[in-house]
Amino acid sequence: MAHPPAPPLPLSRKQDRKVRRLVAAAGAGQAVARRARIVLLAAAGRPTTAIAAELGCSVPTVRTWRERFRRRGVAGLFDRPRSGRPEQHGPSARLAVVATAASVPPEGATPWTRATIAAHLAERGLVLSPSTVGRVLAEAKVRPHRGRGWLNRADDDAFWAQAGAVCHLYLDIPPGTLLVSVDEKTGIQAKSRRYPTRRTRPGQAERREFEYRRHGTVSIVAAMDVATGQVLAERIGRNDSATFIAFLRLLHRLTDPALRLHLIMDNSSSHTSRATRAWLAAHPRITITHTPKHASWLNMVEQWFGILTRRLLRRGDFTSRKDLEAQITAFTIRHNRTARPYQWRYDADADHARYLQTAPAEYTKAA
């Protein structure tokens, strides 16, 4: 006797969101994802046999998970804890593993590994296998083998004030002002592959020779017109105050005298040296806004440096420093033909807005 068609499975909006997350989540597991698909199809009114055929499972399987979801909701899609071998190590042992992983490793043995943690605990009378240590660390989500960089900001208020001043300039360039982002890119390597690159073809990625020859390095200083996206780049022999002042003179000479020059730059030594500050003081037409310390990524010209790296330097082939310089020049000329201003977005919450309003005068001069 045929079973009557099952009615659509009731599914609230909140349950629908959770079930769809299980389908999309890579860590949910295939079994749970298939159960979630059963629920979604059943909620859409699909017949049980059609669901089984589409998902490649049996009709009783579809009925089982429909019923479990009806009784227990989203929690019913997960397996209940099963009985097994009782734990051999209690909470104290697990705490000792986590505490060891979070402590300073012994000298000459950084970072902690499962084996070194097990050996360290064995010396103190707690015998655990490395695999047990690994399971405890996984359950606690402690990963001593992984690390991330971190930078402390001593004065958070000053950081937001300076960052806000820079972003404010990007969003609202003062009338009669040429806003220029300036920075150096040093140590660009001129390298050539020992054998020609094999270009991409259908079904095969580009293949580059592993070995290369070094031909020295090139450093450049660049200035970007924030309003247009166009860039002036020049090779420099040294990254010092004299070189930077010479570049400032070039900018001063090439720009319309009727315009004020407002430069955004970082706090490197050549930008803040006594000689540079003296030259700027003698040329009041030029105003400076510095990016916060360790935040040169706020400098718009860094976006262009990234494009230069991705499109030319990373996969380029340069037979000499002169060749590298020529290719950078050609790249800059091509860029300027189709340059567009970067779309800068900045959302400030109440605290950051307050920093903008109370920023020191030197951060908002000419803004």
| pLDDT attached to residue 367 | 34
At 365 the pLDDT is 37
* CA 180 from centroid of its chain's CA atoms: 25
- Closest alpha carbon to 99 in 74, 126, 72, 79: 126
Closest C-alpha among 289, 342, 306, 269 to residue 182: 289
pLDDT of residue 6: 76
Check residue 118 and give its pLDDT.
92
CATH architecture of 156-198+207-364: 2-Layer Sandwich (3.30)
pLDDT of the chain along its 367 residues, tens only?
556 677 888 888 889 999 998 888 766 678 888 999 999 999 988 999 999 999 989 999 999 999 999 888 888 888 877 766 666 777 889 999 999 999 988 777 678 999 999 999 999 989 999 999 999 999 888 998 888 887 776 666 788 888 888 988 998 899 999 999 999 999 999 999 888 888 888 988 888 888 889 999 999 999 999 999 999 999 999 999 999 999 999 999 999 999 999 999 999 999 999 999 999 999 999 999 999 988 888 899 999 999 999 999 998 999 999 999 999 999 999 999 999 998 776 554 544 555 445 444 443 333 3
CA distance 232 to 332: 8
User: How are beta strands 177-193 and 260-265 bridged, if at all?
Assistant: parallel
Residue 54 corresponds to which amino acid?
Answer: E
pLDDT value, residue 156? 67
Q: What is the dihedral of CA 266, 160, 178, 339, to 10 degrees?
A: 80
Task: Show the DSSP H helices in the chain as ranges.
Answer: 13-24, 30-43, 48-55, 59-72, 91-101, 114-122, 130-140, 156-171, 241-254, 269-272, 274-281, 301-308, 321-337, 350-357, 361-364
- List the chain domain ranges: 13-77, 91-140, 156-198+207-364
DSSP 31-58: HHHHHHHHHHHHHTT--HHHHHHHHT--
Of 169, 182, 332, nearest to 248 by C-alpha is 182
